[in-house]
Chain A
Amino acid sequence: MLRILGKVRHLGVISESLEPDDEAALTQIGAQLQARVGERFGGSLAIRQVDAGSCNGCELEIHALNNPYYGIERFGVHFVASPRHADMLLVTGPVSRHMEAALRRTYEATPSPKLVIAVGECGACGGEFGISYASCGAVANVIPVDAVIPGCPPTPLALLHGILQAIGRRATR
C-alpha cells in the first residue's frame, strides 16, 4: 500500500493542459452542428463509441483519451455503455455490411438531440477499404454524420480537440 501511495505522490498530476485549438481545424464540422446543437450538452457529454468495422487502430487512440495525460473526463466528457444514455456516437469505420444493421439500431436507440462524429480516414471516406461487397465505406453512407475527425488513426489530441470543437466548447480547462 505504501508503495502505491508513494508512487502516486511522487508522480503528482500529469494531465496536460490543452492549448486553445490554434492548430488548424482538426474537425470538419457540419454547418448545422455549429449552429446550436452542441451547446445543449455544454456541461456534460456522454459518448457511446461504436466500432462499425474499424481495424482497432482508432479504438486504441480513443482509449488513450482516458489515460492520465489526456484525462478527457475533466472536460465533462465520458464514455457510456448504452446508446440510450448517450448524447453522441463516436463511430469508427469503414462500416462493414455485417455491422450496418447494428449501427442503424444503435443510432435509433440514441435519444435526440444527438450528435454523430465519424472518426478516422475509414469513417470519413472509407479509407483503405472503400466500398465493396463487404464494406459500406464512410459512416455517412449509413447514418447522418455531424462532424468528422480524420487521421489514420487520429491522435488522441486530434480526437480531444475534435470532440470539444464539435460541442462548441473551448478546449481550455
Chain B
Amino acid sequence: MSASDWREQLASSVQSTSAESMPGLAPAQLLHVSAADWGKLARVAKELGCRWVAGWGEDRAEEILVNACLEKKGAYMIARARLDHTAVTLPSHTPYYAAASRSERHTRDLVGVHFSEHPDARRWTRHQAWAEHAYPLRKEFAAAGAPPLQTPPDDSYPFLQAHGSGVYEIPVGPVHAGIIEPGHFRFQAVGELVLNLEEHLGYVHKGIEKIAEGRDAAALARLAGRISGDCTVAHTWAACMAMERASSLDVPERAHYVRAIMCERERVANHLGDIGAVLNDVAFTFGFYQFARLREDWTRLSHALLGHRFMMDRIIPGGVAVDLDPAGIDAMREQIRALRPEVEQLIAIAEDNASIEDRLETTGYLDPVLAAELGTLGYVGRASGIDFDVRRDVPYPPYDRLEVAVPVYHYGDVAARVKVRGAETLFAFELIERLLLALPDGSIANPWQPPASELEGIGLVEGWRGEILTYVRFDSAGKITRFYPRDPSWLNWPALEKLMRDNIVPDFPVCNKSVNGSYSGHDL
C-alpha cells in the first residue's frame, strides 16, 4: 500500500469532503469529518494501522473545531470536525487509541469539548485555578482569568484505589526529592513491588496556549523556546517551521543547516547528561561525573560559538539569529574529534560493568506491542521496536539531503533506552560533521512576513525526545490566534505508568530517568 492509499481509504470510509491539501499543513492533508462519524474515523484508522499523533481544539467565533492528527508510513492526515457552540460533543477516540486519552481530557478542560464514551471522566490539566465550566481557550475567557486570591492545593483528585492485605500507597510530589520538575506520582505497592503507578500532571501549567494568542511571530518563537527549556531548539524550530509554512516563507539554505546543527547539539547535550543521570541512579557515580563533564564541555562550546548554552532564541522566524564562522566550524569539528573516543570509552566501561547490567537489563520493560498502542516516540519507542524518526521518514530540510540512521532495539528495558541514546549521540556527531562539511554559503535569515489572511501551518521536528508537532493559525492581522505544540512527552508519560508495573519502588528513579518526560512540555 502506498503512503497515500490509506488516506483515501480513510476519507472514503466516513462522511467527509475530499481530502484537501493546504500548503501550510503539508506534509499533512486536511479531512473534514462530520461529528457523527468522528468515532468511526478512529475505528477505521486503527484498522488501517495508523498512529494517533495529536489532538487539539480551537474556538473560532462561529464554531469550535476539533482536530486529530494521524500518521502512517510518514504520511499525515489532520481530521477536523466542526461543532456548533450549542452542541460541543464528539465521540471519543480513546476507545480505539489509548494515546488520545489525556489529549481529549486536556481539550475538554481547556476548550470545553465533551468526548462521549471517553472511559475516564476525570479532569486532567485543570486543578483548582479555574472553575469546572470555564474553559481558558474559549475566546470569551480572558488570559488574566479570575483566579482565586490563593489557589488551593489540588488534593481531591480521585486516584485509582487498590485494596487488599499488605497493599499500601506512596504519594510522591509535586515537590520531588531532587532538582526535578514537579508532578505527582501515586504508587500502590506490596512490599517493594509496584502494583500500579498513576501520574497526576499539570502542576506547571502556565497557560502557554492562551498567552500565545495575539503574539507576533518573533514573540511566539520566544515563547516556544520556553515550552521545555531542555529542548528549546527543537520547539522553536517546530514553531518557526509552522509559521513559515503558514506564510509560505522560504528559509535560506544556510539557516536550515545551522538549525539542524543546533538541534543535533541539543540532542547530544541531553543524551550525555541523561546517560550519566541513569548511571547515577544505579550508584555508578563515576559515569555520572564523567558524562556531566562531557555535557559541560559541549554546552560551553555552544555558548562560545552560538551565544547561549542551550541555544535559546537562536532560531527566529525566517532563519537563524546566529552564524558560524570558519573558526567556529573548526572548533566544533575539533571538539567532536576529542569527544567521540571518550564517549565510546565511557559507554564501553558502563556496558562491561556487571552490576550496571544487573540493574538496567529487564528493568522498566515496555513491551513493543504496548509501545505501539501508546504511540510512544523517540528513544522510548525506538528501544521498544518503534522504527520511526521524523528526520528519516518525513524528512525536512536539511535532513532531506542526509541519510539518517535510526537505532532500534526490541528489549524495551532501561538498558535499551540507554543504548539508543548512546547510539544517537555518536550518530549526531557524524551528522554534525556532515552538516558542517556541506554548510552552504549565503544569508542566514529572510525577513519575516506575516501571512495576508487567516492561514494555518504545522511544524514537524524530531527533537531529542522524539517527534514534535506544532500547529499555528494566524488571524487576519498577522497575529497568532491558535498555537498548539505537542511535545513527545504526551505520548511517553503514559508508557512510564505501564513500564513501572512489577518493578520495585527503588527502581522508580532510574525508570523515570530512562524515559525523562518533560513536565513543562506536557503541562503547557
Q: Does B290 contact A (CB under 8 A)?
A: yes
Whether the pair A129, B292 counts as a contact (CB closer than 8 A) is no
Q: Is A3 on the interface with B (CB-CB < 8 A)?
A: yes
Give the CA-CA distance A49 to B178 in the complex, in Å. Answer: 7
Q: Is A63 an interface residue (CB 8 A)?
A: yes
Which of B151-159, B364-372, B391-399, B423-431 lines the interface with chain A? B151-159
- Contacts A55-B228, A67-B293 given; does A98 touch B136 at CB 8 Å: no
Q: Is the CB of B147 within 8 A of A64?
A: no
Q: Which of A29-37, A132-140, A160-168 contacts B (4 or more CB under 8 A)?
A: A132-140
CB distance from B287 to the nearest CB of A (A): 9
Evaluate contact between A60 and B136: CB separation under 8 angstroms: no
Residues of A near B181 (CB, < 8 A) are 51, 54, 56, 59
A3: B residues at CB distance < 8 A: 345, 349
Residue of B nearest to A58 (CB): B229
Decide: A133 and B202 in contact? CB cutoff 8 A: no
Distance of A127 Cα from B520 Cα, bound (Å): 15
CB < 8 Å: which of A56, A62, A135, A152 contacts B520? A56
Determine the residue in chain A with the shortest Cβ distance to B126.
Answer: A98
Q: Is the CB of B143 within 8 A of A132?
A: yes
- Could you tell me if B179 and A63 are in contact, using CB atoms closer than 8 angstroms? yes
Q: Mark B139-161, 1 if CB is under 8 A from A, else 0.
A: 00111111100111110000000
A28, CB-defined interface residue at 8 Å: no
B432 to chain A, nearest CB (A): 21
Which of B210, B286, B290 lies in contact with A133, CB distance below 8 A? B210
Type the 1/0 row for B288-317, where 1 means its CB is closer than 8 Å to any CB of A: 011011011001000100000110100000
The interface residues of chain B lying within 8 Å CB-to-CB of A54 are: 181, 204, 229, 520
List, in ascending order, chain B residues with CB within 8 A of A96's CB: 203-206, 523
A55, A69, A132: the one within 8 Å of B296 (CB): A69
B151 and A98 within 8 A (CB): yes
If A57-B312, A60-B310, A134-B145 touch, whether A66 touches B206 (CB-CB below 8 Å) is no
Known interface pairs A101-B150, A101-B151. Does A133 touch B223 (Cβ–Cβ under 8 Å)? no
Q: Write out the residue numbers on chain A whose beta carbons fall within 8 Å of the beta carbon of B227.
A: 55
Contact with B along A10-33 (1 / 0, CB 8 A): 010010000000000000000000
Q: Which residues of A contact B481 (CB under 8 A)?
A: none
The residue of chain B having its C-beta at the shortest distance from the C-beta of A70 within the complex is: B296
Interface residues on B, range: 35 or more
Q: Closest CB-CB distance, A40 to chain B, in whole Å?
A: 24
Answer whether residue B177 sits at the interface, using C-beta atoms and an 8 A cutoff: yes
Interface of B is mostly: loop
Known: A60-B229, A97-B147, A128-B223. A135 touches B289 (CB 8 A): no
Chain A contact residues (Cβ within 8 angstroms of B): what range? 35 or more
Cα distance A131–B222 in the bound complex, in angstroms: 17
Distance in angstroms between the alpha carbons of A60 and B312 in the assembled complex: 13
Closest B residue by C-beta to A69: B296
Q: B148 CB to closest chain A CB, in angstroms?
A: 9
A98 and B292 contacting across the interface, CB-CB below 8 Å: no
List chain B residues, Cβ under 8 A from A76: none
Interface residues of B (CB under 8 A from A): 127-130, 136, 141-147, 150-154, 174-175, 177-182, 202-208, 210-211, 222-223, 226-230, 232, 273, 286, 289-290, 292-293, 295-296, 299, 303, 309-310, 312, 345, 349, 518-520, 523
Cβ contacts A to B, 9 pairs, < 8 Å: A57-B229, A59-B179, A67-B296, A98-B523, A106-B175, A132-B144, A133-B129, A133-B142, A134-B210
What residues make up the interface of A, taking CB atoms closer than 8 Å to B?
A: 3-4, 7-8, 11, 14, 49-64, 66-69, 79, 81-83, 94, 96-102, 104-106, 127-136, 152-153, 155
Ordered nearest first, which 7 A-B pairs have the shortest CB separation? A133-B145, A57-B229, A134-B207, A81-B177, A101-B153, A97-B129, A67-B292
